[in-house]
Amino acid sequence: MPLLRSGIVRAETLVDIRGVVPRGIDGASIGAGTTLAELECAPQIPDVLREACRLAASPQLRNMGSLGGNLLQSTRCWYWRLKWPCRLHGGDECFAHEGEHREHAIFENGFCASAHPSDVAAALVALDATLHTNRRELPVSDLYHLPRADDRRTTTLEPGELLLSVELPPAERSVYLKAMERKLWAFPLVGVAAARTGGVTRVALAGVAPVPFLLQGSLEDATPLPRNAYKVDVARALVKRALAALEEST
Amino acid sequence: MARLIRTEKEVEGRYEEVWLVVEEDVLEQWPAGAREIVGRPATRIDGLERARGEAVYTADLKLPGMLHTAVLRSPYAHARVARIDLAPALTMPGVHAAIGPGELDVLVEECGFHGAAIAAVCADTYAQARAALSRVEVDFEQLEVLIDPDEAVARGQLLGEPRVRERGDLDRGLAEADVVVMGEYTTQVVLHNSMETHQAVVQWLGDSLEVFISTQYIWGVRDEIASTLGLPGDKVRVVCNYMGGGFGSKNGADDYTFIAIELAKRTRRPVRCALTRREENLATGNRNATIQRLTIGARADGTLTALGGEYVNATGWGGWSSPVEGPMQMLYACENVKTTTWAAKINQPPMKAFRAPGFVEGTFGLESLLDVLAAKLDIDPLDLRRRNHAQHDGADGRPYSGKNLLECYRRAEPHWERRHEVRARSTGTVKRGVGMASQIWYGGGGPPSYAWVRVGSDGRAAVVTAMQDLGTGTRTAMAQIAAEELGIPLDHVTVSLGDSARGPFASISAGSSTTPSMGPAVRAAAADARRQIEEIAAQRGTPDAPLAEIVGLLEDAQILGKGGRGPNPTGMQVLTFGVQVAEVAVDIETGEVWVDRIAAVHDVGRVINPLGASSQIEGGIIQGIGHTLSEHRLHDPRTGQILTTSLDAYKLPTFADVPVIVSELIDEPDAQLTNLGSKGLGEPPIIPTAAAISNAIRDATGAEVHQLPISREEMLRALREAAAREKVGAPAGV
Amino acid sequence: MPTSRRSPLLRLEVNDHVYELHAEVGTTLAEALRDDLALTGTKVACAEGHCGSCTVLVDGVPTLSCITLVHSVADAKVTTIEGLRDHQMVHAFVREDALQCGFCTPGQIVSAVALVGATPKPSTDEIRHAMAGNLCRCGAYPKIEEAIRTWQD
């Protein structure tokens, strides 16, 4: 709604979708209308998702914000939010590259250095969760689209397509760690989600790339900008700790 | 009796020599210690109204027919309005008037900063005004942007002449030193972000003006408006009954008030001009960034022989040069001191006073470097500070009216002693340590200020004075003073304030001056009333009868007392002092810093309300923690445009950032100062916090931070630097 | 009210009182409360969901009224500070000096009331977690924490 009011997003009609989007937890399936507050105190969901919800936003926003809405949230890049004619807005420059980028991406940042702010998305990517829309079924990571010159969208959601639910595979162990600029109520500088599912460990990061970032190579492959190399240090420490936490349980 | 004196007047470190008419201050101070009411904790007399949401702030005011204003502000840091057409806005629904450059002084054609006001539209609703504003056609010619303060100094683009303050001979002092340490420290732009944004509601009644405004200085706003408009002062009524914070940013009338006044004149309707949070983050002042290049020389025994400072205030497009060199000039005894302070005029929003302007920033640099010196000399930091304690003002030799800094140090010892135990709790990745820093600041207040006290036959008293309570609890403190003097219960006193038409002149609530300026006036007024009551009692032949019995005879008659603030002691420095001890933990892998505990001991003379005073200390420290760790107004380095304009991007401390805070006040009346001996407490607690934290970080990790805020980037940089230093065995701090 | 805001009648239940008002689509709950119902105890400090000053209860749940569309709560029970004026929490705030300028205070109290409704004796961590969305620029946090800890005294 703030995006609407500030004119970043325009709409002719607002549709209240609360009636059609499921809400609540049913076994391994979570309705996309379930609030983060409901998830943060749900004992049956994996730690990584519960902790990601618990550390996201503010208490009131967790009361109001749904899982689906959180997955679809826009970047906090100040250039984009202040309507600078950047590449995400269809322009031909990423102002963060030469500008103020201490909160920006350290991976996949060549075209657009915005950082994806969703803790919850990183958790679901680490869990390799499956998303159900009114049209298809897809891995959560496929919801996201790295913006590039010929297609600047950050998600693959089509007009008229609605997120309905998320299906979680059984995770043996999982953890979410988050670095913020204050102790609570801040978007992640770096969020690290790690989950072991079926013996396979997956690590996904929030706040480090224009989309939730599944760590497949090494953190040393990061391409930080001049003023955000510290994020690599922070990520290195948090990934190490997250992996250690997965080990501890066994 | 009033008399004319020549005296120095100080507001936030700026002195001017003035002729002043002052009242005689004939009352003896009360003895030290808690009285019946003064010196004992009191809950806020307006607490219920505020807590229940019944207190009416300027933001809540709705006058019949009131119009709403939207202001067009420059999107560029430096630009000229080449063409502007307001006509399309005037055709929009609900719009009543629009004004632009040339029609009002505060609406400018050359915009020197992002956020400068250009035009304004008023309409039936704010949404309509905003919609209309987007129809204003404006072409900008962008101008060269200068935002690097050092470059501005090099180019001579300054606000005023550089301020050079010198005593002794710095070079000689450096030659006498056994050890010299140097360091460069920088501090960031910090925003007040009061919860109630800057706003005014204005209406004309014939040729008189009513201004409802969220302000720290009712009389200043009145006089500023009256002189700008050429009106007699009493044709301008300024009202501020409740306000949602100020912290130094609400001392004047500002663009929004003059916009509302002009639009109200044109439309013959009441007009509200309220800034949005976004505008608040652009155009309502800030604590400006600083660059501090410091040198300290000392003998092997720790005696300071030389203090040198080159300070650049990144002041902005306007404002004044804050006394960032003040702590170096004033905090310690040293014969050879030279500071130079430049005010760089750059294309950034103008600074305003912000809770101890200059001293917060300057204390961070000085006290951080002093700990580097302590390490180099292998002297305990507390001992080093004691060794250089100043017995009198270093600049002009004046004595202090009262100073208990050594007592503050003594009471800080148990907190300082905790460092061994705190350090011992360090782990492999989380290092813990303790640091301290001293505080010096003004806070003596001054004349003039007046109060009236009215006592009725019901034995109740009303204090009437046109002051303001910006949330510090002034209403309550004034009620306590009046109740104490009259010898009646606190709940028998009401305080009527906040209206220039309904009370005498009262001090600005800035510079920690409200209690020391207003308190003595209120006591004098209450004493005047009490004297009259005693005279009646004597005439009746019952000189010892209780007040209630005497005034019970009055029926509709009233006792009216008046009082004024007497002069400050001649030839003396009236200052506040203190020390804070911080305990921190640092995650050396992630650069995260936790502040676990802060102990604060301050000397502000007599304490009127210990409960409210502890709240002031906590609030100052918490703002200090925000300043130290998370708050940072960012701009685009190429264009100077502001990037953090909302409260998700600009990070105020939350509940989770708050440490254990232990506070203590010396509570010794300043025997030289007024009939109360009280100084102000609004600003002192924020002053040493950043330096105490940075020194604790150094104690914990050996890393020397040089920048505020101590972001993860800065913390990790300092840790890397410390590790490299350890490797090559280089000495610290050179 | 200007005609441009004429729109179908909306039913709104606030503090156990049913109001009927005309509100244009897009009107926030905070605007409706403050401008249409004159319930100005709910303060708006940022108007974009970042500070918590405008917190009200919607069916008992702390909600930011500045980013809630009034039409979305037509079937809900809204509680504002005016509905909590005699709650013990109000007195605890005054007793502990848990307010300075008071502008964020109604929102703080609303959040605190919801917290102790669910957890009558919250721990320090629970208080900090539940209250982290209510910013106080004056820094009354330590006293607010104390007020919440001792609200039943």
Taking the C-alpha atoms of residue B713 and residue A226, their distance in angstroms, rounded to an integer, is 11
**Whether residue B85 has pLDDT greater than 50:** yes
Of the three residues C33, C59, C80, the one that is the final residue of a domain is C80
What distances in angstroms separate CA B80 from CA B74, B108, B114, B139, B235, one per listed residue? 9, 9, 12, 9, 36
Q: The tokens of A64 are what?
A: 């109001």
**Whether residue C9 has pLDDT greater than 90:** no
- How would residue B12 be classed by pLDDT, with cut points 50, 70 and 90? low
pLDDT value at residue C5? 45
Nearest partner of B690 among B292, B195, B182, judged by Cα = B292
CB contact (8 A) between residue A182 and residue B651: yes
Q: The tokens of B242 are what?
A: 């409740």
pLDDT value at residue B13? 65
Domains observed in chain A = 2-248 (3.30.465.10)
**What's chain A's average pLDDT?**
95
Within this chain, do residues C32 and C91 fall inside the same structural domain, yes or no? no
pLDDT digits (tens, 9 = 90+) for B551-560: 998 899 999 9
Taking the C-alpha atoms of residue B201 and residue B212, their distance in angstroms, rounded to an integer, is 5
Within this chain, do residues C73 and C7 fall inside the same structural domain, yes or no? yes
**Structural domain boundaries enclosing C47:** 3-80
The chains in contact with chain A, meaning 3 or more Cβ pairs closer than 8 Å, are: B, C
Within this chain, do residues C96 and C144 fall inside the same structural domain, yes or no? yes
Taking the C-alpha atoms of residue B451 and residue C48, their distance in angstroms, rounded to an integer, is 42
Within this chain, do residues C60 and C13 fall inside the same structural domain, yes or no? yes
**Whether residue B442 has pLDDT greater than 60:** yes
Helices in chain C by DSSP H: which ranges?
A: 29-31, 88-95, 105-118, 124-131, 141-149
With contacts defined as CB-CB under 8 Å, which chain B residues touch C136? 195
Mutate to test the interface with A, among C28, C50, C141 (most CBs of A within 10 A): C50
pLDDT digits (tens, 9 = 90+) for B164-222: 999 999 999 999 999 999 999 999 999 999 999 999 999 999 999 999 999 999 999 99
CB contact (8 A) between residue C102 and residue B655: no
pLDDT value at residue A7? 76
> How does DSSP classify residue C72?
G
- How would residue B731 be classed by pLDDT, with cut points 50, 70 and 90? low
Mean pLDDT for the stretch of residues B474-498: 97
**Whether residue A44 has pLDDT greater than 60:** yes
Q: How far is CA B600 from the centre of its chain?
A: 18
- How would residue B24 be classed by pLDDT, with cut points 50, 70 and 90? confident
**Whether residue C2 has pLDDT greater than 80:** no
**What's chain C's average pLDDT?**
95
Taking the C-alpha atoms of residue B705 and residue B66, their distance in angstroms, rounded to an integer, is 52
Within this chain, do residues C101 and C69 fall inside the same structural domain, yes or no? no
pLDDT value at residue A19? 85
Domains observed in chain B = 2-57+445-564 (3.30.365.10), 61-144+192-283 (3.30.365.10), 289-444+572-728 (3.30.365.10)
B77 touches B144 (CB < 8 A) = no
Within this chain, do residues C101 and C55 fall inside the same structural domain, yes or no? no
Of the three residues C59, C80, C101, the one that is the final residue of a domain is C80
The chains in contact with chain C, meaning 3 or more Cβ pairs closer than 8 Å, are: A, B
Domain count, chain C: 2
- How would residue B727 be classed by pLDDT, with cut points 50, 70 and 90? confident
Mutate to test the interface with B, among C1, C22, C42, C138 (most CBs of B within 10 A): C138
Mean pLDDT for the stretch of residues B524-539: 96
pLDDT value at residue A4? 75
Mutate to test the interface with A, among B76, B135, B590, B631 (most CBs of A within 10 A): B590
Residue B491 touches partner C, C-beta closer than 8 Å: no
**Whether residue B395 has pLDDT greater than 90:** no
Q: Is the peptide bond before B669 cis (omega within 30 degrees of 0)?
A: no
What percent of chain A lies above the pLDDT cut of 90? 90
Within this chain, do residues C101 and C56 fall inside the same structural domain, yes or no? no
- CATH number of the structural domain spanning residue C142: 1.10.150.120
Residues near C94 by beta carbon (within 8 Å), at least 6 away in sequence: B43, B44, B47, B48, B51
Within this chain, do residues C97 and C125 fall inside the same structural domain, yes or no? yes
Nearest partner of B715 among B547, B543, B590, B613, judged by Cα = B590
- How would residue B7 be classed by pLDDT, with cut points 50, 70 and 90? confident
With contacts defined as CB-CB under 8 Å, which chain A residues touch C132? 58-59, 183-185
pLDDT value at residue B51? 98
Within this chain, do residues C39 and C71 fall inside the same structural domain, yes or no? yes
Within this chain, do residues C75 and C101 fall inside the same structural domain, yes or no? no
The chains in contact with chain B, meaning 3 or more Cβ pairs closer than 8 Å, are: A, C
Taking the C-alpha atoms of residue B626 and residue B639, their distance in angstroms, rounded to an integer, is 26
pLDDT value at residue B5? 82
Number of A to C CB contacts under 8 A, please give it. 53
pLDDT value at residue A18? 84
Taking the C-alpha atoms of residue B433 and residue B208, their distance in angstroms, rounded to an integer, is 60
With contacts defined as CB-CB under 8 Å, which chain C residues touch B47? 93-94, 97, 99
Of the three residues C58, C80, C102, the one that is the final residue of a domain is C80
Mean pLDDT for the stretch of residues C60-65: 98
| Residue matched to tokens 């005894």 | B333
pLDDT value at residue B221? 98
Smallest Cβ distance to C132: which of A6, A18, A185? Answer: A185
CB contact (8 A) between residue A14 and residue C128: no
Within this chain, do residues C75 and C126 fall inside the same structural domain, yes or no? no
- How would residue B730 be classed by pLDDT, with cut points 50, 70 and 90? low
Mean pLDDT for the stretch of residues B134-153: 98
What distances in angstroms separate CA B552 from CA B340, B455, B540, B558, one per listed residue? 64, 10, 13, 10
Mean pLDDT for the stretch of residues B445-458: 96
Mean pLDDT for the stretch of residues B572-589: 97
pLDDT digits (tens, 9 = 90+) for A96-153: 999 999 999 999 999 999 999 999 999 999 999 999 999 999 999 999 999 999 999 9
Q: Is the CA virtual torsion B46, B50, B54, B56 positive or negative?
A: positive
Within this chain, do residues C14 and C31 fall inside the same structural domain, yes or no? yes
What percent of chain B lies above the pLDDT cut of 90? 93
